[in-house]
Structure 1
Amino acid sequence: MTEANDLPTGLSKPAQRALHNAGITRLEQISKLNENEIKQLHGIGPNAIKQLRAALETKGLSFID
């Protein structure tokens, strides 16, 4: 059984909406994208990228190159 959502809880509301609207609810999904793809989402800023990068690292994941 997988968690429904393992994204960082501290993400801003615009960042949460941007990911939700893109159908992204798991860090594993983010690890299949590169930083530029995530940055293209309206509502994702430098702080959200930093939070996502840290969350990915704690799970042994990262953005693709």
Structure 2
Amino acid sequence: SDLPKLAAPARRALTTAGVTDLSDVARMTEADVMALHGMGPNAMTTLKAAMQAKRLSFAKR
């Protein structure tokens, strides 16, 4: 998994949604990820930075 270090609630939210790596996150819209129970602004900032480093972005609707 190339997911960055996240707080436990955010990591659980992604795991519950079936997300195992950043490419899974990139298949979701930013709104979908934000809507997951446990995802907050700090986790989103960390995810966005990790995605940018790999030249990934959130899906567009």
**TM-score for both structures, normalised by structure 2:** 0.92
Of 13, 21, 25 in structure 2, the residue corresponding to residue 18 of structure 1 is 13
How many angstroms does 1:32 deviate by? Answer: 1.0
Matched ranges for 1:1-65 at <5 A: 5-9=1-5, 11-65=6-60
Where in structure 1 are there 5+ consecutive unaligned residues? Answer: none
Structure number with the higher helix fraction is 2
**TM-score for both structures, normalised by structure 1:** 0.87
Q: Percent identity?
A: 47
Which protein has the larger Cα radius of gyration, Structure 1 or Structure 2? 1
How many angstroms does 1:64 deviate by? Answer: 1.9
Q: CA RMSD in A?
A: 0.8
Q: How many residues align?
A: 60
Measured in 1, the distance between the counterparts of 2:15 and 2:27 equals: 16
Measured in 2, the distance between the counterparts of 1:24 and 1:64 equals: 14
